[in-house]
Amino acid sequence: MAKKYRVTGTFRMGSDWAHFANEVETETPAKARERIYSEFGSKHHVIRRYITIEKVEEVKEKEATH
């Protein structure tokens, strides 16, 4: 079953660095990192060395309240 991970970091956008925080649904934190590299490469044409991932953390689902 896939879990939800929040990946935060920075990436180079032109001559500046921009912060990001994206949530992805994958099986492992390593796959979450790969998904971010893939998405930023395809959407923003950023190569991997211009993407700095600072943190990958699991997002816990909130428990239902009755």
**Residue 28 is assigned to a structural domain of this protein:** yes
pLDDT score at 64: 41
Could you tell me how far CA 44 lies from the centroid of its own chain? 14
Residues facing residue 58 across a β-bridge:
5
The model's pTM: 0.84
Does 22 map to a domain? Answer: yes
Residue 63 falls within a domain, yes or no?
no
DSSP-derived 3-state class of residue 11: strand
What digits encode the pLDDT tens for the residues 6-50? 999 999 999 999 999 999 999 999 999 999 999 999 998 999 999
In a domain, 37, yes or no: yes
Residue 10 lies in a domain: yes
Note whether residue 54 is domain-resident. yes
**Number of domains forming the structure of the chain:** 1
CATH number of the domain encompassing residue 24: 3.10.20.10
Phi, psi values for residue 50, rounded to 5°: -100, 15
Domain range spanning residue 50? Answer: 3-58
Give the CB-side neighbour count of residue 38, counting CA atoms within 13 A.
7
pLDDT value at residue 61 = 77
